[in-house]
Chains A and B, each alone.
Chain A
Amino acid sequence: MTTQPTALAPSATATATAASGTRLGWVVADALTVTKRNLIAYTRIPESLFFSSVQPIMFVLLFRYVFGGAIQVGGGSYVNFLMPGIFVQTVAFGAIGTSIGLAEDLQKGLIERFRALPMARSAVLAGRTLADLVRNVLVFVLMTAVGYAVGFRIQTNVIAFLGGAALVLLFSYALSWGFAVIGLSAPNSETAQVMSFPVLFPLIFASPAFVPVHDMPGWLRPFAYDQPFGRVIEATRALMAGGPTASYVIDAVIWCVALLAVLAPIAVWRYRRVG
């Protein structure tokens, strides 16, 4: 490299701007910078987005056309019962992206670089979870379209449906912090992914996502009903397909807030300790 000796005097610009911004302003700005970076990365690997959409679509087709006929739901069509469960399942699997992404950043030494930068400490986690939330919004829109194509129709009204969407996304955001803990504990991104699935599987399948809880064995029913997935799915179903709503929604929101309140500090603690 025949380099021109660019004057690298002590950085007046950096210190000046750092002093002028408010602390909170930087916390937000840094989180958005990292969010943007993660979103750009997602657009650069469209095949990952494509294949992560194929799986939930296959679930829709599988349950709508293969298993659906054998599952009895009281009143209404099975597809209207199914789709709220599919929404929750899809965003929950989408939230695994948080663990994979963080494990990858650790593995590649990016977190190491971030730690030596004058950025807000919270930005890496906030930027990752926010990017995965945005990704889940897109996935939700896609799944709604798929649902419409196979006969799903909103039984309540648009406001209630959007409320259901907001609940599903809030839930996925809370789960992202849990997957952040896994991602920060895993030795690499492959392991992070493998570690995440066993956490999700029992919670999703032992829930009212695909089958009414009253068709499950007695010992399983209380778990399926009261665990966070159970409550969030029932609340979403009530908001989209009708039925008693208030108590489910309150329980679901409490679960989301509680998960966030517990998982986010653990993730932050893990982040401080890695490396």
Chain B
Amino acid sequence: MTMAIEADGLEKTFGGIVRALDGVSFAVPSGSIFGLLGPNGAGKTTAVRILTTILAPDRGVARVLGYDVVAEAGAVRRSIGLAGQYAAVDENLTGRENLAMVGRLNHLPRQVTARRATELLEQFHLADAGDRTLKTYSGGMRRRLDVAAALVAQPSVLFLDEPTTGLDPQSRIDLWDTIEHLVEGGTTVLLTTQYLEEADRLAHRVAVVDHGRVIAEGTPEELKAGMGTTVLDIGMDDTATAAKVAQLLSGVGPKEPSVVGTTVEVPIDDGPRAAMEALRRLDQQGLIPASFVLREPSLDDVFLALTGRPAEDLEAGAVAPADGRGDGRSGGRRRRRRARTGEVAS
């Protein structure tokens, strides 16, 4: 099996202090979707920036289609497309002009560029908006155009850095469909995400990144194994009661319950039956929960299962994109709560 992307021992430190990557290695087979899953500040964006030749690693080697990202950066750039986590498009240009510019800068002939722009506007449902400036576009439309721009030169390897962060649910599902169709055409996709759901849905293989390291790698099924298919969150009034409840509910699901603050998280397989069992046990002890929620497993649960602790943000500033919006700065816990309930997080 040929590898479209290989990263071997990548290290990167910013300003001599923040260790964004601490020996990251992985390999992506041609024609597959690979997910880098991790919280803000885990080093996902830094890895993408190194693989797309924007940043040189301090140590380690990375290859795209066999080309070294440092020594053969030009060859790498001719083979890749990149869409960032913020839509890097010119808002003073029309959608078509943006695509044409990227096509020309990819050194495509003028006619090819024009044809590709029309195709992509059609494909991304922007045909009607194609000749309007981006100032009139919604956030979702800009993001779609950003991804379209990454596809103008028909790259064999596509990098999508948190492509659906900040998108509404419908746009997210649309984009997922698009990505799946691309891979049917033979494109290799590396995608970063904070959403287990997204990695699960799209990626053939997933590497979980934490503090600049890959802490687990496998198929989504392998990662989810042992976590239970559903999670039962039971909020109690204080931590002591929560700890008591965690003991009480031992054996309700395939794994032991864990306590996060005043909430007991119980991985379960059989939703309704396990929920009733949990309520029965609580009732017998005269315990009344403050909240009782059934939900899909989240990135946090993967982290709990893998490391025994919740996902944590690093200082996001050093690894945030150059635009300085630093969307990881505002309270990691709150953000993960949003991520876990599947709301838009930006």
Stretch in B36-44, B84-92, B274-282 touching the partner? B84-92
Shortest beta-carbon distance, A93 to chain B, in Å? 21
Which of the segments B119-127, B223-231, B303-311 contacts the partner chain?
Answer: B119-127
Given A41-B93, A107-B324, A188-B324: A112 and B84 interface contact (C-beta under 8 Å): yes
Question: A6-B123, A14-B153 known; A44 and B322 CB under 8 Å?
Answer: no
Identify the closest chain B residue to A45 (Cβ): B92
Smallest beta-carbon distance B182→chain A, Å: 6
**What residues on B are CB-neighbors of A11 within 8 Å?**
78-79, 153-156
A275 within 8 A of B: yes
Q: Are B106 and A8 in contact (CB under 8 A)?
A: no
**Contact assessment for A109 and B88 in the assembled complex, using a CB-CB cutoff below 8 Å:** yes
List residues of chain B with CB within 8 A of the CB of A119: 105-107
Task: State whether the Cβ of B82 lies closer than 8 Å to any Cβ in chain A.
Answer: yes
Q: Does A3 contact B (CB under 8 A)?
A: yes
B323 at the interface (CB under 8 A from A): yes
Assess the B86–A33 pair: CB atoms within 8 A: no
Tell me whether B101 and A37 are in contact (CB under 8 A).
Answer: yes
Q: Is B294 an interface residue, CB under 8 A from the partner?
A: no
Instruction: Report whether B90 and A37 are in contact in the complex, using a CB–CB cutoff of 8 Å.
Output: yes
CB proximity of B172 to chain A, nearest CB, Å: 11
Residues facing B in A10-55 (CB within 8 A) are 10-11, 13-15, 17-18, 21, 26, 29-30, 33-34, 37, 40-41, 44-45
A8 touches B182 (CB 8 A): yes
Task: Provide the main secondary structure of the chain B interface.
Answer: loop
B97 contact from A3, A37, A116, A118, Cβ within 8 A: A37
Q: Nearest residue in B to A119 (C-beta to C-beta)? A: B105
B168 in contact (CB, < 8 A): no
Asked whether A115 is an interface residue with its Cβ less than 8 Å from the other chain, the reply is: yes
B123 and A1 contacting across the interface, CB-CB below 8 Å? yes
Known: A6-B123, A14-B154, A106-B323. A118 touches B74 (CB 8 A): yes
Name the distance in Å between A133's Cβ and chain B's nearest Cβ.
19
Question: Does B154 contact A1, Cβ atoms closer than 8 Å?
Answer: no
Tell me if A14 and B108 are in contact (CB < 8 A). yes
Of A3, A18, A37, A107, which is within 8 A of B323 by CB? A107
Report how far A1 CA is from B163 CA in the complex, Å: 15
Partner of B133, one of A6, A30, A44: A44
On chain A, the residues within 8 Å of B97 by CB distance are 37, 40
Interface hit among B184-192, B200-208, B240-248, B331-339: B184-192
Q: Specify the chain B residue showing the minimal Cβ separation from A15.
A: B78
Q: State in angstroms the CA–CA spacing of A112 and B9 once bound together.
A: 24
Interfacial chain B residues near A44, Cβ < 8 Å = 92-93, 133
| Complex A-B: 19 CB contacts under 8 Å | A3-B124, A5-B184, A6-B181, A7-B186, A10-B156, A37-B93, A45-B92, A108-B90, A110-B90, A112-B321, A113-B102, A115-B54, A117-B105, A118-B74, A118-B78, A118-B107, A119-B105, A275-B54, A275-B55
Taking Cβ atoms with an 8 Å cutoff, the residues of A that contact B are 1-11, 13-15, 17-18, 21, 26, 29-30, 33-34, 37, 40-41, 44-45, 106-119, 123, 187-188, 274-275
